[in-house]
Amino acid sequence: MRRNWLAKAALATVALSIPAAGLAGTAHASSLPGGSGHGKAHNPHYRGRHRRPESFDQRAATFAKTTIGDPYAYGGTSPAGFDCSGLTQYVYHHLGKNIARTAEDQFLASRRISKRHAWGGDLVFFHESSDPNSYVYHVGIYEGGDDMVAATTYGEGVQWQNFSWAGDTVTFGTMTH
């Protein structure tokens, strides 16, 4: 019994050590791990069935960037012209989430989070003072680091902006996590 097991193990070892080229066309490089074929594992566009779908926040951050360059309009809620809260409302609504119309109401409806816990696609709120409960006068869509997409003012429209200038008057809010 033991000799049969040892013989089978030795035969398997020999079979595994034969180069693929010596098998007269029974194996192709593209079917082997690390091969250079065009299989799914080597296609950079293949998403695979085990890939996580993008989160709402990721989609919001990505979609917000498509509005860069759209004009500013006081009270605007469409690509014809946005104000800050009209932009955030438009982006969220486009992705299936209805949020309040004004920056202050969006702040009140969101769950406050720290910058460390903010994800791209969350909201960045600007307060009139360093008191996090003070009035919110501006909002943007967080993109990571100190950056956001926001509708700014006449002549500038929707822009990618760095908000570090606002210092401790900025808070973060989420509607999703």
pLDDT tens figures, 80-125: 999 999 999 999 999 999 999 999 999 999 999 999 999 999 999 9
Whether residue 27 is found in the same domain as residue 81 = no
Whether residue 128 is found in the same domain as residue 162 = yes
* Residue 48 lies inside a defined structural domain of this protein: no
Whether residue 117 is found in the same domain as residue 166 = yes
pLDDT for position 51: 75
Q: Is the predicted pLDDT of residue 24 greater than 90, yes or no?
A: no
Whether residue 11 is found in the same domain as residue 72 = no
Number of domains comprising the chain: 2
Range of the domain at 29: 2-42
pLDDT tens figures, 121-174: 999 999 999 999 999 999 999 999 999 999 999 999 999 999 999 999 999 999
* Residue 78 lies inside a defined structural domain of this protein: yes
What is the reported pTM?
A: 0.72
Whether residue 78 is found in the same domain as residue 148 = yes
pLDDT tens figures, 51-61: 788 999 999 99
SS (H, E, C) 76-138: CEECCEECHHHHHHHHHHHCCCCCCCCHHHHHHHCEEECHHHCCCCCEEEEECCCCCCCCEEE
* Residue 47 lies inside a defined structural domain of this protein: no
* Residue 49 lies inside a defined structural domain of this protein: no
CATH code where residue 149 lies? 3.90.1720.10
